[in-house]
Amino acid sequence: IALARSGYDYVKKHFPGETSMYLSQAKKKEPQLILNASEAVGLGAYRGGVKFAAIYPMTPINSVISFFADHAKQLKIVYKQPEDEISGINMALGASYAGVRSMVASSGGGFALMVEGLSLAGIMEIPIVINLGMRVGPATGMPTWTEQGELQFVIHAGHGEFPRIILAPSDAAEAFELTAQAFNLVDRYQIPVFVLTDKYLAESHWCVPMSHFKKEYSIDRGKMVNESDLPADRSYKRYRLDVDDGVSPRSIPGMKNGVFFANGYEHDEKGYVIESGPERVAMTNKRLKKFEAMKKDIQAPHVYGDAGADITFVSWGSSRGPVIDAMEMLRAKGKTANLVHFTWLYPFPEDETANLLSSARRIIDVEQNSAGQLAALIREHTGMKITEKILKYDGRPFYPEEIVEACLAGGRGVEKGL
């Protein structure tokens, strides 16, 4: 307290003048938990029923490691620090194949090593949760700085085509909620699910009401079969084709009459290796049916701010907070604004996005990369080209003031790198 008071007095004496930041008295004094988003990912994984995590150290997901290292024994979770990221994802896939909910975490360079394992999960239809904490790249880049540069990477990662889901929380509360949700989604569709964070998000701290962690949550293991459901004549087909949603009943090792061949080759319904063209097409189409089935779970973007606003921002992940603060500053300058913010990024919410943006007067994309990756995704799936972009890729998080300045100074057609 003495140090805080000393710092306060120093600033008051040496930096006189107004500030745009004020603290008001809390109206409600509900108990709060102070945590960063990586710790929230760990708590969300626990809520989601994780039993195995294999994570090799890498900034900025080391706080996830710290969570499991500190609490795994108490929470009855097996945590392993593997020799590298390749081992990590394969350990997690093995645990998931054996029937337990599993996850890995890494940053872009570490995840690049996992991509072959990701494709293995795709063809074997093994559930796996992947927390990818983004930082400045390429290669080692600036490992202790932040960026949102890997959205398109995770959408297209892997050789061959297979379904996946991509979620991107904007704060610790959403990191908890979406990670827990991810574990139900992986089992429901037998696919990889990504939870995208970044350096700024992963290591920033929030106060989250305790009640948020006590919300009701039920575990859905999807089409995990019971041993009693398996046919005694051993006719069980792990990759059964006649399923409307593309998801075949799943047995785990040790189940009587549930044996199948699990491998990385293309296969028939029982897992035997095939090279037949028609069988290959049938099995691929079965897996791709999951995209249609997922539509019922797709979450529309969240909308913040004024209806019929002068300016509509679009953003994803950790950019939400600075944009909302910028909206307040714009309002004080006589400009109304709203935000269409994405936490569910893939499969992309095409219809919902088109409906929300079709009546917008002026759309500005705000994200932390040089390419406008969300804007490209919106154009790919809706045909809407966003010409105004405020892009920041110097490793520093957005400040609301610079968003306001770029917005007011840029004029139409601006593509401003901060």
* 158 Rama class: left (phi>0) / alpha (psi -120 to 50) / beta: left
Share of the chain above pLDDT 70, in %: 97
Residues of the chain falling short of pLDDT 50: 411-413
How does pLDDT run across 255-310, given as a tens digit for each residue? Answer: 999 999 999 999 999 999 999 999 999 999 999 999 999 999 999 999 999 899 99
Give the integer Cα–Cα distance in Å for 220 and 317. Answer: 26
Angle at 121 between CA 299 and CA 240, to 5 degrees: 85
Same fold, 30-214 and 304-417: yes
Q: Which CATH class name applies to 30-214?
A: alpha beta
Give me the residues paired with residue 303 across strands.
Answer: 340
Give me the residues paired with residue 192 across strands.
Answer: 128
Q: Taking a C-beta distance cutoff of 8 angstroms, is the pair 375, 314 a contact?
A: yes
Q: Taking a C-beta distance cutoff of 8 angstroms, is the pair 138, 110 a contact?
A: no
Give me the residues paired with residue 103 across strands.
Answer: 53, 129
Q: What is the pLDDT of residue 173?
A: 98
Q: What is the pLDDT of residue 91?
A: 98
Q: What is the pLDDT of residue 413?
A: 44
- Cis bond upstream, residue 57 (ω within 30): no
Q: Taking a C-beta distance cutoff of 8 angstroms, is the pair 183, 101 a contact?
A: yes
Fold of 304-417: Rossmann fold (3.40.50)
248 SS3 class: coil
Q: Taking a C-beta distance cutoff of 8 angstroms, is the pair 126, 104 a contact?
A: no
* 381 Rama class: left (phi>0) / alpha (psi -120 to 50) / beta: alpha
Give the integer Cα–Cα distance in Å for 128 and 193. Answer: 6
Give the integer Cα–Cα distance in Å for 365 and 386. Answer: 7
Amino acid at 128: I
Domain boundaries, the chain: 30-214, 304-417
Q: What is the pLDDT of residue 29?
A: 80
Q: Taking a C-beta distance cutoff of 8 angstroms, is the pair 144, 107 a contact?
A: no
Phi, psi of 9 (to 5 degrees): -65, -35
